[in-house]
Amino acid sequence: MMQKKAPGLGNAMAAYMLLMIALFAATTVCAQTVTQKLQKVFPGFEEDIQLSHAISSLYVIDAKSGKVVFDKNSRVGLAPASTQKVITSATAFALLGKDFSYTTAFATANHSDILYIFPSGDPTLGSERWTNTKADKILNRITRLLAQNKKKVNTIAIDNSRWALDDIPDGWIWQDISNYYGAGSEKLNWRENQYDLLLQSGESLGDPVRIVGANPKLYGYSLHSVVTAAARGTGDNAYIYFPLNDTAGIVKGTIPVNENAFAISGAFPSGARQCLAELADNMIKTGIAETTPEIKPVTGIRAEDYTIIHTETSPPLDSIIYWFNKKSINLYGEALLKTISYKERGYGATDTGVVVVQDFWKQNGIDVAELNIVDGSGLSPLNRVTTHAQVQILQYAQKQNWFPSFLKSLPEYNGMKMKSGTIRNVKGFTGYHTSSDGNTYIFSFLVNNYNGPASSLVRKMYAVLNILK
């Protein structure tokens, strides 16, 4: 005997199936529409006169399914500029953990008048970005504790053991080094290894510009200005140059006319030297040292020879990476790369850090040849990274428990969460975007060797990325 169907069940099921088919078709059409639009627009972008001798790469995937939405030159290695910071950030989160903090210990010798400093590569020591890391607060804490312990100091010794002394990564150009964005990373960093140089210009074009001060005061270095005055509104076109291992530098370029204290930002040739000099100066002012203490590097200090009196602890990694990406602080990238090297291999060095980064992503399915890097910040024009690798790394990141912190660190440009990158004739954007219909895309977009103004190219890149909205 045939069993009767419930009244209306066949019609309801048919309607449900039709609805599911319609929704699936709508989703497919939507995905195809984005793909088709990019396929239509991108050739026109490449044919633009600004890209007449350039190469560009765009790779877009659906964040949920991982399916490729668009691919042009995604396996071609290009200079990524600061978009490379997403690679360093994700690796640091994965290998160090979002709660990781640096420590810098201060110790007094048990049988002498030496103050020992045991740094760990902390890039935030002396930074103005957090209340507790500010330079004056740190200096006051140390001198106050020394006074409480009734310690006199005639020597300050810094422990540089198991840390490479080559502060500048391979491939950085001379015009970048010594300017604020070209700060090298040491085991002891200070004030983000930056200072402001104050310049005064005359009333006429071509007038010489003189140096009127520095904030903070520079210790052990001298600068000579050959800067000249340019037209009003021309902005900061002055650069600081320090020959390798020299204490005398030169400032070249132009600043606008009629400026009394025009600030340009430079990088200390040695943040450690600046830190120790400021500390020594503070000790003299507070009576802890009668004369300027001798400053020297040391290694192999025995634990029984000193007593730790104070430890400075950095903000946690998620807070460091927030500023690393938001403000694109190159120093943080170099410090993180060396820290990754130290944690994984027991020695803090840029080249070792590069190998660790490449090995980690190789274990996660990315070809090492797609991560041909030499630094942690992307400042070197020698870096070559594929958009495919960057998207794969962003896809990995979204599956991790630290992803909210990572996503929060990405700036917002053009209404999209993405890291930008800029060096000479290089522009890039990489990140995430959720469209108006709820689809989330992961993308990386790099252009190398374009011509003309960067602002014009950026508008054209935004026009392509707007298709994802």
Look at residue 298 in the predicted model and tell me its pLDDT. 84
Spatial separation of the C-alpha atoms in residues 416 and 423, rounded to whole Å: 21
d(CA 309, CA 327): 34
Task: Return the closest-CA partner of residue 122 out of 313, 300, 295.
Answer: 313
Residue 180 CB-half CA count within 13 A = 15
Long-range CB contacts (within 8 A, 24+) of 425-429 = 425/449, 425/450, 425/451, 426/78, 426/79, 426/80, 426/81, 426/381, 427/81, 427/454, 427/457, 427/458, 427/461, 428/78, 428/80, 428/81, 428/82, 428/83, 429/83, 429/461, 429/465
User: Taking a C-beta distance cutoff of 8 angstroms, is the pair 288, 150 a contact?
Assistant: no
C-alpha distance from residue 113 to each of 21, 277, 293, 295, 399 (Å): 81, 17, 10, 12, 52
Task: Give the 3-state secondary structure of residue 263.
Answer: strand
């946690």: which residue's tokens? Answer: 316
Comparing C-alpha atoms, which of 362, 416, 441 is closest to residue 33?
A: 441
pLDDT value of position 12: 52
Residue 301 confidence (pLDDT): 87
Residue 38, both tokens: 């990019």
What DSSP character marks residue 163?
B
pLDDT of residue 250: 97
pLDDT in tens, 279-302: 999 999 999 988 888 888 888 888
The two domains 38-98+317-468 and 102-167+269-315 share their CATH topology (first three levels equal): no
**Residue 165, Cβ neighbours under 10 Å: how many?**
9
Q: Radius of gyration (Cα) for the chain, nearest Å?
A: 27
The two three-digit tokens of residue 85, written as one number? 């910071």
The CA-to-CA distance between both ends of the chain, in Å, stands at 58
Q: What are the structure tokens assigned to 237, written together?
A: 């076109």
Q: Do residues 236 and 266 lie in contact, with contact meaning Cβ atoms separated by under 8 Å?
A: no
CB 292 within 8 A of CB 284: yes
- What pLDDT score was predicted for residue 165? 87
Instruction: Provide the pLDDT for residue 149.
Output: 84
**38-98+317-468 topology per CATH:** Beta-lactamase (3.40.710)
Between the CA of residue 343 and those of 1, 92, 119, 317, 411, what are the distances in Å?
Answer: 75, 11, 14, 14, 28
Take residue 108 and report the two structure tokens written for it: 């007094």
DSSP 87-112: HHHHHHHHHH-TT---EEEEEEESSS
Task: Give the count of beta carbons closer than 10 Å to the beta carbon of residue 126.
Answer: 26
18 Cβ neighbours under 8 A, 6+ residues apart:
none
Other Cβ atoms closer than 10 A to 69 = 22
Of the candidate CATH numbers 3.30.70, 3.30.750, 3.40.1130, 2.40.128, the domain formed by 102-167+269-315 belongs to: 3.30.750
What does pTM read for this prediction?
A: 0.91
**399: three-class secondary structure by DSSP:** coil
Residue 418 · residue 111 · CB < 8 Å:
no
Where do the structural domains in the chain lie, given as residue ranges? 38-98+317-468, 102-167+269-315, 191-267
Beta strands at 416-423 and 412-413: parallel, antiparallel or unpaired: antiparallel
Q: Residues of the chain whose pLDDT is less than 50?
A: 1-9, 14-16, 18-30
- 386, 351, 380: which is closest to 367 by C-alpha? 386
* Amino acid of residue 111: H
Which pLDDT does position 293 carry in this prediction?
Answer: 87
Give me the torsion for CA of 403, 405, 406, 412, rounded to 10°. 120
